[in-house]
Amino acid sequence: MTWFQKEITLSPRPRGFHLITRDIVAAVPEIALYSVGLAHLFIRHTSAALALNENADPTVRADMEAYFDRLAPENAAYYKHTIEGPDDMPAHLKAVLLGSSLTIPISNGRLALGTWQGVYLCEHRDDGGRRRVVVTLSGQVRTSEVPKDL
């Protein structure tokens, strides 16, 4: 079994659900070296999350945002953690509900996603800034392609 780990930085995005599958694959070309394995993605933030869902119809992402905004509204009277702005506490709640990590199988050098599946960055802040994601790969590397630094 071969392990590989890399931290990538995603460019800032507005609040919402954003497809980042291509960003991940472009930033971690080492995925192509694995014949079989797992890619573990972990976001290093408490006000953003990762999810796996529909990759074709953008209205799904808009509906997800609308649903989570209703589930964890801004300016709720019962919030005590308000010093960082009205979008902060709802962002923490949404991040807890969605989660900070994903594990995706790797098959023949590709993420083994379903036809309509994509990796989402769930940005819950109005101005979340750059987001850091740790990508850890483990599995069987094609023996003819093992680089010296892996």
CATH number for the domain spanning 7: value is 2.60.120.460
- The band of 150, judged by pLDDT with boundaries at 50, 70 and 90, is low
In-domain check, residue 92: yes
Task: Decide if 15 is inside a domain.
Answer: yes
149 assigned to some structural domain: no
pLDDT in tens, 55-65: 999 999 999 99
- Domain of residue 6, residue span: 2-142
Establish if 147 belongs to a structural domain.
no
What's the total number of domains in the chain? 1
The per-residue pLDDT for 31 is: 98
pLDDT in tens, 101-123: 999 999 999 999 999 999 999 99
pTM here is 0.93
The answer as to whether 13 is a domain residue is yes
Q: Left, alpha or beta for 145 (phi > 0: left; psi -120 to 50: alpha)?
A: alpha
Q: Which residues contact residue 94 at a Cβ distance below 8 angstroms, ignoring those fewer than 6 apart? A: 49, 68, 71, 72, 122, 124
Q: Name the percent of the chain lying above pLDDT 90.
A: 94
Instruction: Look at residue 84 and tell me if it is in a domain.
Output: yes
- For 23-27, 77-81, 88-92, 144-148, which range has the lowest pLDDT when averaged over its residues? 144-148
